[in-house]
A and B are shown apart, each in its own frame.
Chain A
Amino acid sequence: EVKLEAAGGNLIQPGGSLRLSCVGSGFTFSSYNMNWVRQAPGKGPEWVSYISGSGGTIYYADSVEGRFTIFRDNAINSLFLQMDSLRDEDTAVYFCARQRGGSSSSFDYWGQGTLVTVSS
């Protein structure tokens, strides 16, 4: 059974840093491109970042470029999101999501989400 478990969300002050993690199981983690998607309260999902299976290709949404860093450690089936210079508008539930196929494909499995609250 494919599972993704996200963790690391917390209450953090503006300007602070936080690292999210996502552990995958039930599939060959290194063979799949992975993403972070966030959802602010009462809003639709917003794609945040993409990383290829090897980690060699990375993309970011304009809203987080230069502040967030996505990386992965395939040896421990883990995906990470390092979030720096956090802003109020980064408050959201953060999901990790697996891509079904290549870089242009839908997201077939999602983690349960972890809540990040940025507030003073």
Chain B
Amino acid sequence: AIRMTQSPSSFSASTGDRVTITCRASQDISSYLAWYQQKPGEAPNLLIYAASTLQSGVPSRFSGGGSGTDFTLTISCLQSEDFATYYCQQYYDYHPTFGPGTTVDIQ
């Protein structure tokens, strides 16, 4: 199985900050990478797919980059509603796997 890691596991930030989360795959997954946002008690919400394509309705302050094994999710100007946990997911093969998550909380 393809293993996904994320860093950092959590951090504190302030509204207006630019933040970047990193995701690494244990093998080359090309651009078969998605990012999800999850808030407590809710289902994950798709933000980005194909490593860098913004899902319809997602604010443009979210952006994704990378290919192969190393990927990033950047929030250009953190808003109050962005404090949540973020997961990367590879869907390169028929057994998709998720990263352990990165929690962004209020400083």
B43 touches A95 (CB 8 A): yes
Whether a CB of chain A sits under 8 angstroms from the CB of B65 is: no
Residues of B contacting A: mostly: loop
A113-B95 contact in complex given A44-B87, A44-B101, A106-B34, C-beta closer than 8 Å? no
B99 touches A44 (CB 8 A): yes
In the complex, what distance in Å separates the CA atom of A24 from the CA atom of B89? 23
A45 touches B87 (CB 8 A): yes
Which residues on A are within 8 Å of B, measured CB to CB? 35, 44-47, 50, 59, 61-62, 95, 97, 100, 103-108, 110-113
9 contacts between A and B (CB under 8 A): A44-B87, A44-B101, A45-B36, A104-B91, A105-B91, A106-B49, A106-B89, A107-B34, A108-B46
Which residues on B are within 8 Å of A, measured CB to CB? 1, 32, 34, 36, 42-46, 49-50, 55, 87, 89, 91-101
Sort A-B residue pairs by CB-CB distance and give the 10 closest, nearest first. Answer: A106-B34, A110-B43, A106-B49, A45-B98, A47-B96, A59-B94, A44-B101, A44-B98, A44-B100, A108-B46
